[in-house]
């Protein structure tokens, strides 16, 4: 029942999926040279957000030993050594910026980026097993940063296989409304990317890996080739599809 189109597909867009659904009180528009396979289909049931209210907010009590800032004095943590670096979980007060050709290994745990951006640039890699990244504000939602993943960086980190955050790789606080930017030739995340209050913005040749995206809005632009190896981590969705949740 969106006032505008649930799906607005135009330009030279070409979408192939098992199904492309929208709730029948809304609408889908395919215009210009855009092609979809199959055509968008009206369905009579809405899709609930399977994670709404289901995840406990991570604790901000433990500051990462690698954080350049503190709760009292936030500061951006910048990783730009050009070599190999290991990071430990906890709160990064003021943001986390991974630059250049640095190869970063994330030790297992929850990484909270509080009150600043989470940015990755360059040609290095970020790897880790049993990892969740949580984006939130500090001290309030107005201080939320933005997620920006740019460059030719290889992302090969996977979520926990059990516990409160099973299968959740990146979670952006619903009060954080800045776009989640996934641009460039970024490859390889696995798990759920959850941005309930923000737009998931794709640009470039992106290999998304084995993921499930749950977002307020999704925007795909440019001469973009996107490969998503859909995995049904949460909810009742068993097919690879694009659905509008209400």
Q: What is the mean pLDDT of residues 111-127?
A: 91
Q: What percent of the chain has pLDDT over 90?
A: 40
Which pLDDT score, from 0 to 100, does residue 155 have? Answer: 83
Which of 88 and 220 is assigned the larger pLDDT? Answer: 88
Prediction pTM value: 0.86
Residue 172's CB is within 10 A of a number of other CB atoms, namely 28
pLDDT tens string 175-217: 999 999 887 777 777 889 999 999 888 876 776 777 888 888 8
Q: Which of 154, 91, 163 is nearest to 128 (CA)?
A: 154
| Helix, strand counts (H, E) of the chain | 0, 24
How confident is the model at residue 242, as a pLDDT? 64
Q: Report the Cα–Cα distance between both ends of the chain, in Å, rounded.
A: 8
Please tell me whether residue 110 adopts helix, strand or coil conformation. strand
Of all residues in the chain, the percent with pLDDT exceeding 70 is 87
Backbone angles phi, psi at 142, to 5 degrees: -65, -20
Dump pLDDT digits (tens) for 157-174: 889 999 999 999 999 999
pLDDT in tens, 52-61: 999 999 999 9
């Amino acid at each position: 029942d969106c006032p505008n189109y649930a799906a607005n597909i135009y330009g030279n867009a070409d979408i192939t999926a098992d199904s492309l659904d929208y709730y029948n009180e809304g609408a889908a528009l395919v215009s210009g040279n855009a092609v979809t396979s199959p055509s968008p289909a009206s369905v009579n049931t809405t899709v609930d957000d399977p994670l709404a209210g289901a995840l406990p907010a991570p604790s901000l009590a433990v500051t990462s030993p690698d954080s350049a800032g503190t709760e009292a004095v936030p500061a951006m943590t910048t990783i730009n050594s050009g070599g190999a670096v290991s990071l430990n979980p906890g709160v990064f007060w003021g943001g986390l910026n991974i630059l250049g050709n640095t190869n970063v290994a994330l030790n297992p745990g929850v990484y909270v980026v509080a009150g600043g951006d989470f940015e990755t640039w360059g040609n290095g890699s970020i790897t880790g097993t049993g990892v969740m990244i949580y984006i939130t504000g500090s001290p309030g939602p107005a201080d939320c940063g933005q997620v920006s993943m740019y460059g030719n960086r290889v992302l090969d980190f996977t979520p926990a296989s059990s516990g409160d955050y099973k299968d959740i790789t990146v979670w952006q606080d619903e009060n954080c409304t800045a776009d989640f930017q996934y641009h460039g030739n970024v490859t390889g995340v696995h798990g759920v990317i959850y941005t309930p209050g923000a737009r998931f913005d794709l640009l470039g040749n992106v290999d998304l890996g084995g993921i499930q995206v749950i977002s307020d809005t999704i925007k795909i632009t440019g001469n973009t080739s996107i490969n998503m190896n859909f995995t049904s981590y949460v909810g009742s969705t068993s097919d690879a599809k694009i659905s509008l949740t209400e």
